[in-house]
A = this chain, B = another copy of it.
Amino acid sequence: MSSCWGNQIKLTIFGESHGTAIGGVIDGLPPGLTIDFDEVGFQMKRRAPGQHQWSTHRHETDEWELLSGMFQGKTTGTPLAFQIRNRDQKSKAYAELNIVPRPSHADFTGNVRYHGYQDYRGGGHFSGRLTAPLVFAGAVARQVLATKNIQIGGHIRTIGTLSDTRFNPIDPASHLFREVALKQFPVIDDTAGDQMKALIESARKDCDSVGGTVEAAIIGVPAGIGSPIFDALESSMASILFAIPAVKGVSFGDGFDITTLRGSQANDQYDQMDDQRNLTTSSNHNGGILGGITSGMPILLNVAFKPTASIAKPQQSINMRTGEQTKLIVKGRHDPCIVPRAVPVVEAAMAFSLLDSICQIKGLEYWS
């Protein structure tokens, strides 16, 4: 684990927000696949900062360079490495973070963990910018999955107490996946979206921030992926989802809401068997996973993001050199809400995780 994730398909991520470059290495991809890099670029752009009013004003183009792993337009099967050069750093804004830690950031914990030697500029290796390599890897992974008609989509489910329409748990309607992904503000219901945008703008004006949740789904997953106990698909998917900065909760199916149901309400009863002997259920409270193994029903999950920790309001902190209390005003460019840009990150993590799990059961040759 550490900065390397996966069993059969591994992702190694490197870089700091204001260092030379960030990037990643994807190891174990099936050989011979065509990757549509325009589509990769589309996914990268969904996450990129500086595009909208509610996102940070940092203008990173997130242009990547492939370093290895593609040959004659196809994956080689050997490690696919890529880098994204950092360009628009304004490091001076961050100089004191290793002395006066920002509340709810990793400044203090990173300082302890790395004995003060971590690159603290812009959050360094802890920066949300490190989700760019994850989105890149996920964009590759979802193209592999698509060769078997496995599709992934997500949307903002809530911002503060405002809610979007939910996916239909039985049939999340894959046309929605693309429609929502193409929107600047990825919600199903644009009216709800307008209210959310107003809420974010209001927080921004108050020098404050808001949080929210992302709902995401995968359809077309074959039954039988995952294993009981420690290799539960929920275990591996939660593991990579909690790697995304600001995530404080992950749930599958009805999640915490299932705790208020009775068994007779929560159980997904079987109602049909198809030609391939797959069973379907008339409800999907379990989110497509039973005993850690996919059932063939849509995978459904929710991820909770805390409000952006960086706010311009004065906050209480401590000068770690002197031990004295001090007021801190976080400078720099920050999203008042990171949830809109988090949607493609969640999808990417899910794609990479599922690809790894499928490869463990089906082997590399499943894709060829």
Contacts and interface: CB of A to CB of B under 8 A. Distances in A.
A117 B80 CA distance: 13
Contacts of A243: 229-230, 232, 235, 292
Interface stretch (A2-10, A46-54, A55-63, A174-182): A2-10
B67 A23 contact: yes
Nearest to A363: B363
A311 B262 CA distance: 10
A69 interface: yes
20 contacts: A2-B27, A2-B231, A10-B12, A15-B79, A19-B71, A20-B66, A32-B114, A103-B270, A104-B268, A109-B223, A203-B263, A211-B261, A234-B248, A248-B259, A256-B304, A259-B306, A259-B307, A263-B307, A269-B317, A279-B318
A293 to B, nearest CB: 4
Contact of A78 (B3, B32, B206): B3
B213 A315 contact: no
Contacts of A206: 262, 264
A267 interface: yes
Given A3-B25, A361-B113, A363-B364, A316 B271 contact: yes
Contact of A14 (B69, B116, B250): B69
A267 B126 contact: no
Nearest to A110: B291
Which residue, of A117, A226, A252, has the highest number of chain B Cβ atoms within 10 A?
Answer: A117
A270 B143 CA distance: 38
A22 to B, nearest CB: 7
Contact of A248 (B75, B118, B254): B254
Nearest to A313: B264
Given A14-B25, A211-B259, A263-B208, A227 B20 contact: no
A245 B249 CA distance: 18
Interface in A190-213: 203, 206, 208-213
B286 A104 contact: yes
A33 to B, nearest CB: 8
Nearest to A230: B5
Contacts of A124: 71, 76, 78
Contacts of A293: 106, 109-110, 112-113
A77 interface: yes
Contact of A101 (B21, B270, B307): B270
A319 to B, nearest CB: 8
Given A4-B4, A235-B1, A311-B263, A31 B109 contact: no
A113 B229 contact: no
Given A1-B236, A10-B4, A230-B4, A245 B291 contact: yes
Contacts of A14: 25, 27, 67-69, 78-81
Nearest to A33: B117
A325 B235 contact: no
B25 A117 contact: no
Contacts of A66: 20
